Amino acid sequence: MSGAAVAHRFPQSGFAVALMARTEEKLMQIQSDIENSGGKALSITVDVTDAASVAGFLV
């Protein structure tokens, strides 16, 4: 199961989700799909292979 599929399942059970990925466009599409289905999602663009990107996310 992909991360996007998992992200879609949690809101179906009433959970809000935080989405993280390198590609903002993909994140925004998944967030939009979740919100259009009545769920709540927050998108954060971050590259976990880049220490500076992760540090910026954590601050």
pLDDT digits (tens, 9 = 90+) for 6-56: 999 999 999 999 999 889 999 999 999 999 999 999 999 888 888 888 887
**Which residue type sits at 56?**
G
Q: Indicate yes or no: pTM above 0.95.
A: no
Contact 13/38 with Cβ under 8 angstroms?
no
What is the distance, to the nearest Å, from the Cα of residue 3 to the centroid of all Cα atoms in its chain? 9
Cβ neighbours of 25 (radius 10 Å): 8
- Look at residue 48 in the predicted model and tell me its pLDDT: 84
Q: How confident is the model at residue 2 (pLDDT cuts 50, 70, 90)?
A: confident
